[in-house]
Amino acid sequence: MVKSNNDKVVIPQNKAEGSIPKWAVAALIVFTALLYGRSLYNGLTLMDDDYYIINNPFLKDFSWHGVKAIFSSFYSANYNPFTTLTWWFEYNTFGLNPFPYHVTNLLLHLLNTLLVFKLSERLSGKQITALVVTVLFAIHPMHVESVAWVSERKDVLYTAFYLLSLLVYLRYLSLGLNAKYYWGVLLLFLAALFSKSAAVTLPVLLVVIDVYKGRKINGRAILEKVPFLLLSVVFGVVNIIAQGAVGAINDLTSSYGFVNRIFLFTSGLAAYLTEILVPLNLAVIHYLPTQNNGMLPWMYYASLPVLLIIGWAIARRSAFRKEIVFGVAFFLVAISVMLQVLAVGSMLFAERYTYVPYIGLFYLIGQMVSAGVEGKNGKAIIGVLSAVVILYSIASWQRMAVWNNDDTIVADIIDHNPDIYYGYWMRGNLEKAGGKLQEALQDYSHAIDLNNKFDDSYFNRGVIYDNAGNIQAAIQDYSKAITINPKSADAYNNRGWAYFRSGDVRSSINDFNQAIALKPGYAQAYNNRGWVHFNASDTLAALADYNKSIAADSVFSRPLYNRASLRTSMGDLAGAINDYNSLLKLNPEDNSIYYYRGLARLNIKDNAGACQDWNKAKTMGNEKAGQLLSQYCK
């Protein structure tokens, strides 16, 4: 390290040691592209892809107003506007064709692979180290989830900005603390934060790099991190608010107790360290364990002594102490926000969380391999590394098939977690959507047996009972769902409709009132309540509810049908015709609209218009329209 006259730190840039073939990096990129090419045939799934893409309302407004909404809101317990913008563009360009989404994920992974090589080379000054780190990063089975799952665009996108910011920071250090590079680091960091909140760890990692590169930690070195820390705090708080708004943050201490909470932390950390070398326990979801009389399975308690032994063994190594400290620090800093200190969801750990953190441990391995290949055991090390690459590549290829579709994902969840309700509930959803109602009923019932505190299992089973005409069983399940989750507007709405079908009008109205109180602007509840009023001959109340339903959701067609029918019965034929006109814009292929508009036109003496509508309805297959044509349009 050299000090310049203006007290700026200058880190000389040495040519990388340990030459590798010039084509090696290009060959790795091509190999990775071919390996992950299998993911390009994967689809969009109900594993978060439905929330982030298929049903995401922010993707449907392809305008500057839509962009503003993306940046001013958080959705599905997250705030990642840059990531959402990529989906927004793809959705409005390609619709729901999954291929372009997967291509983008793969291209970002290839970019990250190249950036990892550049970062490792700049950090170590050794091309062999850089190549080893990059190979492991590119093909490790724990990284498949981040690439083969469209919803994890967050990972691959934030990582690109994160790694670029680290590279520019090294440039900043090597060129004497040039201000333009400092601002470049800050802007790239902001882009990473806009992509995924996990980027909040970067300021601490910059300090780790300072120490590793021998920079003196003085007032300036600390002061220049302040803007980064402020941004981390702001985005960290925003993320906590977003997670808390939907109840995603769990109080594990109340569920597991303080002592067991410690062992959950250590077992999660031990799992990450184990899977980096022996990735055998790969699964879509790694659930938190169940307790038996307040006790965790024994291996969770064993994780703490295992970590202590590993730490003691590492501390005794002096030859690579600097590399060990840096690699482990990189890993711990990057993984810190994923270790269930603030518990989110019901997972002990997740494979996607390793995408950036493993770079630190890969770097340590790379430095050891780089030193070893120059010794007498060089050929053996290369042989072992080659075998690892082959095995990891095979495992990654196999894991990509798991993320192919909903059925393969659910099968993996159930296979690895046969005693957890979630897989059966999810399979029930797939079966219900596919019309396999008896199978869905069995899976929902099994999910309830495993967890009778999950309201959606009762709700969905209630829907099946409801559609099958078993109204009392449906009411019981909706009531159970409401008991578990009193804020479920959907359960109140569905139970209200079931009460109406059972003849209990008063309970029906009460439930619709409660659904609307919980969810103002609930178009379906307004429409349902309007129908109840209409059947009770309270036409004014029915009309008011239909008006509110239409105002709340302009593309919800059912209240337009109902209002048109109501207006016809009230003699407001012009209003009914206006409603039929609106319906045709929403459902131009519905021949019944032409049929009923023809009737309304006939009643206002517009015989030509009526005949025109019935003729259109007849050509679309409406037989009743043909009868009216014979009668009135000779």
Give the contacts of 194 (CB within 8 A, at least 6 positions apart): 80, 81, 82
pTM: 0.84
In the chain, the amino acid numbered 374 is E
Any idea where the domains of the chain sit in the sequence? 2-11+22-406, 420-518
CA dist., res. 437 & res. 443, Å (int): 10
Angle at 385 between CA 141 and CA 145, to 5 degrees: 10
pLDDT for 144 equals 97
User: Tokens at residue 43, please?
Assistant: 């689809």
Q: How far apart are the first and last CA of the chain?
A: 100
User: Using an 8 Å Cβ cutoff, are 121 and 16 in contact?
Assistant: yes
Mean pLDDT by 10 residues, the chain (634 residues): 41 57 93 96 91 90 88 80 95 95 97 97 93 97 96 96 97 88 95 94 95 89 92 87 57 70 86 91 87 84 87 73 90 87 67 95 92 80 91 96 94 93 94 94 96 95 95 97 96 97 96 96 96 94 96 92 94 94 92 94 92 93 89 84
pLDDT at 129: 93
pLDDT at 252: 61
Question: How far apart (Å, rounded) are the C-alpha atoms in residues 138 and 135?
Answer: 5
**Cα separation, 207 vs 454, whole angstroms:** 44
Q: What pLDDT does residue 339 have?
A: 78
Q: Which two tokens stand for residue 421?
A: 């309700």
Tracing tokens 């003196």 back to the chain, one arrives at 216
Superfamily of the domain at 420-518: Tetratricopeptide repeat domain (1.25.40.10)
Looking at residue 317, its pLDDT comes to: 67
